[in-house]
Chain A
C-alpha cells in the first residue's frame, strides 16, 4: 500500500508537505518531484485521504450542555461558592438523580439490615406478651414504670 516508501526519504516529505511544514524552496522542489514520481503522488493522495478520515473519526461534538456546565462552574468559582455547591453545580441533573437514587437504595438496605428478624407488631413479639400479661393482672390499666 505504500510504494512511496521505496522512494528514499520521500514519505517524510509527503507528511511535511500536507502538514504545511516545508519551506518555500523545499516545497517547490518536492512538488516538482511529485509531478514525475507516480509512487510519491499516490502516497500524497493516500496520506491526505487518511488524514481526513482520521480527523473525522476522532471528532467529538461540542455539546451546548457541556459548555453551559463549564460556565456554571466558572461562575460558581468566581462567586466563591462553597466547594460542595461547586461540585454539585458542575454535575448534570442526570448525575444528581443517579446519585440520590443510589443513596436512597443504600439507606434502605441499611435500615432493612438493622431491623429485627421478628417484627415488633407481630403477636408473638415478647413486648406484646409483656403488655398482655400486665393488662391481664391489672385489668385494663397500663402499668407505669415508676
Chain B
C-alpha cells in the first residue's frame, strides 16, 4: 500500500533517523531522478550512478532540509549539482560515440529500433546544447516541471527559463528534423 505521507513529511522523518521513510522516497522518486540525470548526462550508466549519489546525499543532508521548501525542488537541485560534479560533458561524449558505434540488435522491432535511434540522436543533439539550455529543456520537457520551479533550481528568472526552453526546442528541432512528427507530411 502506498505511503500517504507527503515528501516533506517523509524528509522530516528521515532527518529524525527513520530509514524506512528514506526507502519510500527512493521508491517514489527514483524514476524521475534517473530520467533527469539521463537527460543531463546523456549516459545510462552515469545516470544510475548519479541517482545513487543523489539519494545518498539526500540522506546525509536530511538534517539540513528545511520543511518549508518543496522536496522536489531540493531533490532536483541535488541531481543537477551531482551531474555537474561528475563531469557530464565527458560522460556524454563517450555515450554518444558508443551509441553510434552500437549496431541495432537483430530481434528488435521497428518501433523499438526507431526509438533507440531517436534516443541516440536526441542524446547527441542535447550534447550540443549549452548546459543552461539543456537543464531548462530536461527539467521542463522531460520532467514537466513548472518554470518557476526550474527558475528556483537554476537560480534565474522565470522569463529566462521560458527563453531557454524555447531556444532548446528550436535547436533540437533543427537537429532532429528527420524525427519530427510533422516532417513526414
Contacts and interface: CB of A to CB of B under 8 A. Distances in A.
B24 to A, nearest CB: 11
Given A1-B182, A54-B142, A62-B30, 18 more contacts: A2-B182, A11-B170, A12-B166, A16-B162, A19-B144, A20-B146, A46-B182, A54-B122, A55-B142, A58-B122, A66-B34, A67-B27, A67-B30, A71-B22, A73-B56, A74-B26, A74-B59, A77-B59
Interface string B170-185: 1011000101111101
Interface in B129-147: 138, 140-142, 144, 146-147
Most buried by B among A55, A59, A60: A60
- Give chain B's interface residue range (CB within 8 Å of chain A): 35 or more
Given A1-B180, A42-B182, A75-B19, A15 B26 contact: no
B35 interface: yes
A13 to B, nearest CB: 10
Interface residues of A, number: 38
Contact of A66 (B30, B39, B173, B183): B30
Interface of A: 1-2, 11-12, 15-16, 19-21, 42, 45-47, 49-51, 53-63, 66-67, 69-71, 73-75, 77-78, 90
Nearest to B60: A77
Nearest to B121: A57
B173 A2 contact: yes
A1 B55 contact: no
Interface of B: 17, 19, 22-23, 26-27, 30-31, 34-35, 38-39, 44, 47-48, 51-52, 55-56, 59-60, 115, 118-119, 122, 138, 140-142, 144, 146-147, 162, 165-166, 169-170, 172-173, 177, 179-183, 185
Contact of A60 (B47, B55, B165): B47
25 contacts: A1-B185, A2-B173, A11-B170, A19-B147, A20-B146, A42-B182, A46-B182, A47-B169, A49-B181, A50-B181, A54-B122, A54-B141, A54-B172, A55-B142, A57-B115, A57-B118, A59-B35, A60-B35, A60-B48, A62-B30, A66-B51, A66-B52, A67-B30, A74-B55, A90-B52
Given A74-B19, A77-B60, A53 B26 contact: no
Listed from nearest, the 4 A-B pairs whose CB atoms lie closest are A49-B181, A62-B31, A46-B182, A57-B118
Given A57-B118, A59-B35, A74 B182 contact: no
